[in-house]
Amino acid sequence: MAKKKMIHDFQKMKKDGEKVAWLTAYDFPTAQFGEAAGLDMILVGDSLGMCVYGYPGTTPVTMDQCIVHSEAVRRGAPNTFVVGDMPFMSYQISPQEAVRNAGRFIKEADVDAIKLEGGKRVLPSIHAILDAGIVVIGHIGLTPQSSGQLGGHKAQGRTVESARLLVEDALTLQEAGVHMLLLEAVPPEAGKFITERLDIPVYGIGAGPFTNGQLIIVSDLIGQFQAFTPKFVKKYANVAEIVTNAIKSYCAEVRSGQFPQDEHCYHMLEGEHEKFLEMIKKYSTKK
């Protein structure tokens, strides 16, 4: 059984040029599969809003939902570094509220770190959570919770000016003390520069091949989420097609009487069948 990686392991992996592979997961079986496959980290992302609950975005997701799913993932992957994703309005109201909610992830779900979106604008909350002794992962670039201000789910850092703002946010977050940084939907040039410029590990989701590792949403990776496919996604399976075809076959066999067969049935214990036949005679006798 592999030993769970911790902060110093990820720092060493950056130094040694080893890539980190992490995925989202929202339930016990997926977490089990991820740990068995050798994932370095699992993010219980607020993307569960779309992938599990069918919301149009991430903003409706609540702390209680994130906690329940984080608990399930921890049970499924006890030896993997698990990150809880702070949902919308769980850290924006006040630093005190941010600490309270980050603490819930630690106390109730036994996660190893929390992730939250934003750069300079969320520094008070980041400082407060760090002061509470909690590991923090920053997230800049495309930040889905504030995508309305960004004009939708659009790549960031594609102009020199916007790339400069990304670099400034990255440096500010490192100076604040975050332990890792996630870059989402930014050009490879920006991902490479920020990764090389920062001392902390920098990971990408749609940020090119030069970051210290890659994150992807598991529902995209296995072809389960059907609403849309981001440009940066590579599908390694098509679960939606497999499951749909399996259900179609089931429906056809039920309707044609092919299922269930004898091997799918529970039979009475030896010697009980005759007694059963005698018993039902009483119910078949007309009064």
pLDDT above 80: residue 10 = yes
- Long-range CB contact pairs, 250-255, < 8 A, 24+: none
Domain extent listing, the chain: 7-241
Q: Residue 186: its pLDDT value, please?
A: 96
Query: Confidence band (pLDDT; 50, 70, 90) for 153?
Result: low
User: How many angstroms separate the CA atoms of 40 and 37, rounded?
Assistant: 10
Closest CA to 213 of 59, 66, 30, 11: 11
Q: Are 174 and 198 in contact (CB under 8 A)?
A: yes
User: How many angstroms separate the CA atoms of 38 and 118, rounded?
Assistant: 29
User: How many angstroms separate the CA atoms of 125 and 114, rounded?
Assistant: 12
**Average pLDDT of the chain, as a whole number:** 94
DSSP bridge partners of 202: 181
As given in the structure block, the two tokens for residue 88 are: 């919308």
Closest CA to 183 of 253, 219, 232: 232
User: How many angstroms separate the CA atoms of 96 and 23, rounded?
Assistant: 29
Alpha helices in 60-187 (DSSP H): 63-76, 95-109, 123-131, 160-176
Three-state secondary structure call for residue 109: helix
Q: Residue 146: its pLDDT value, please?
A: 67
Q: Residue 282: its pLDDT value, please?
A: 84
Superfamily of domain 7-241: Phosphoenolpyruvate-binding domains (3.20.20.60)
Q: Are 194 and 183 in contact (CB under 8 A)?
A: yes
Q: Is 108 a catalytic residue?
A: no
Closest CA to 110 of 31, 204, 223, 190: 31
Q: Are 144 and 57 in contact (CB under 8 A)?
A: yes
Considering the candidates 71, 97, 184, 278, report the single residue annotated as catalytic. 184
- Long-range CB contact pairs, 194-201, < 8 A, 24+: 194/166, 194/167, 194/170, 197/167, 197/170, 197/171, 198/170, 198/171, 198/174, 199/174, 200/11, 200/14, 200/174, 201/10, 201/11, 201/13, 201/14, 201/20
- Give 27-79 pLDDT, tens digit per residue: 999 999 999 999 999 999 999 999 999 999 999 999 999 999 999 999 999 99
pLDDT above 60: residue 156 = yes
- DSSP structural state of residue 52: T
Mean pLDDT of 263-283: 91
> What pTM does this model have?
0.92
